[in-house]
Structure 1
Amino acid sequence: MALIINGEQIDDENIEAEFRHIKGHYERTLQVACCERDPEFRGIAKDNLISRALLGQESRRRHPEVSEAEVTARLQKLIEEAGGEDQFYMNIGMPVKNEALIRDNVAGGVRLDKTLQEIYAPEPEPTEADLRACYEANLKHYMTDEEIQASHITKSLSGASSRQEIYHTMRDVRQQLLAGADFNKLAEEHRTAEQQQIDLGWFKRGEFMEEFETIAFSMGEGEISPVFTTQLGFHVCTVTGRRPSVARPFEEVKADVKNRFIEEYRDKKFNAFLEELKATAKIEDTDPEGTNCGH
């Protein structure tokens, strides 16, 4: 048994499941698969389980009994949010309905909600000065998206004898553009269909193909791109306008700022409360190092 928190044992399989969940998250986020950080991931997993156990214990101490009506109300809300009972059970990974077990788990959620409400109370009512300070401190979250306007010349592989032929054509087009040829005139001459857009208008990241955006957003206004490819064919593009990212006005985002202020307050209260629980808890870790690899 690797973890014992105030006498409550955490099974090895629970630690392993949490570890794999943490490791999987980082591998998806960072797009890496490596064992080097396994001790770190295992430490995070154990800390998560310790925190949950302590919160559960404190919630049961404060609220040993919760009413059936409260449990039913919370369960119904969870089912509605999941889009129905079948989807709810699928989401929690329970192939066979076990209402007693579910209600017991939901009761734990009710206790925790009550405990958190007590921890957070009374929540502050921020002043205008508080909100403006929060706005300034978190300005990066209230920026508009950078936008560019671009035009492009595209040739697909349809009807071409080879990729090399298209590449040489587009390279020649680029050389003409670099020598001062009119972009729109050349685009008209080389577009493969009448409905093919030359001016793409204004757009933000995430609205076009990633390969195209990577090139376009890295360019200065008036610059001619190198010849590059996407799934649509070969391209040359130019940026004709740029709107930089700027801060949205305070009044426009005031409601969001207030939500952030309250969330930051809750986070501080929650973390302080959790540290208090850890400071007085008896935590035994019989396998502090864990294994070096999660394979």
Structure 2
Amino acid sequence: MKFITRNTPLALLLMAMTSVFAQAPKEKVDGVVGVVGDFVILDSDIDLEYIQLKARGVDTNQITRCELFGKQLEDKLYAHQAIQDSIIVTDAEVNSFMDQQIDAMVEQVGSLDKVIAFYRKKNVDDFRSYFFDIIKNNKLTEQMQKKIIDGVEITPEEVRNFFKEIPQDEIPTFGAEVEVAQIVVKPVVSEEEKQKVVDKLRQIRQEVIDGSSFFSKAVLFSEDEASIGNGGFYKINRKTQFVKEFKDVAFSLDEGEISEPFETIYGFHIIMVEKIKGQEVELRHILISPKYTNEALKEAKEKIELIRSKIMNNEISFSEAAKASSDEKETKNNGGVLLNPRTLEPRFELTKMDPVLYGQISSLKDNEISQPILSEEKGIGKFYKIITVNNRMEEHKADFAQDYLKIKELALRDKQIKTIGKWTEEKIAETYIKISQDYKQCEFTNNWLKK
């Protein structure tokens, strides 16, 4: 299953830990350099920001401590206001996320003792307490930022005015783009194999009802790699980017209820709902995908070769063939045309295209059809596809009619930034803020010194 994730200090530090582990940082006195509401900022928090940036491969030579301190002040303001607004991040949510990150860190450097030594903590409890606060504050910050801009919308008139106000010499240039279409043929999984999976999930469901741990069953049997480590756990709402069938079942269950096996494009699932909190559901699930045979894969290749042959012989158009024969539900009714997941429009900017897809279309001429391509996706398995490029658009300056969706995205982002700026200005004025003498010479973007 595909999910959107947010980088965290723990995840970002994995690379840094590997490269600098043996070089213990010099000891220095750590002190409070700032206070925002109930939150304090330590000098070591700024050191941690530097390590995070280096872990991402960012050149930090041009980044000042004042800039990083300003970012810390912003983060603490968000977290402080999140608490004032009764935004809740549960200890269970933080601990679950922390366990995943610690496991990844241990796998990277070899042992938990090395991780603890790297952070110069006394023991496991000291280490977990330290990162518990970091993770919780990050999640509060994230949710507060989301709350600020969630209600921000933009009208067509605002988009038009935004574009008109861009000076001629600053109008953005959009890179070369292509429209791509594909036909997918998946190997047929026998009904017998599907029934085996359904029977297995029913057996697991009954064992959980009889007292077994759903967490343990998910670790042992689930094929959803993203959630195995935390026992199949997810927290979702109606807007979470899960497939419709999954959400329909999740929101139909009561607390403690376990679903019967049901099918999505990824395979068969069972869901157990743990908690319902307003519009959010905390659940665990187990995914098992039925397996296909080598013979079925061979038959899929033969089928797509036949489809390609008919298109090449002008017996049927690519679009018609997609509608009639493609196994990809998301694209078949649109003639096989792919939607860019970032913009939700049928155009891909070459410089921002997925490298695998770019490699598959880079040598194709307009309306040329690729040879059958064997592909594989997690949760779906192997399948064959053919690809064509419907049309290309060369690099060009933004045009309001032609590039409306991109311009709308820029205009919305601009409005969101202004909304956050106004919110920040208001909250700084009404929040207790103290800056240490060492940082009062900084030139901040926001009025942290309340001059």
TM-score range, shorter chain: 0.3 to 0.5
Provide the TM-score with structure 1 as the length reference: 0.44
More contact order relative to length (CA 8 Å, sep ≥ 6) = 1
Higher helix share: 1
Provide the TM-score with structure 2 as the length reference: 0.31
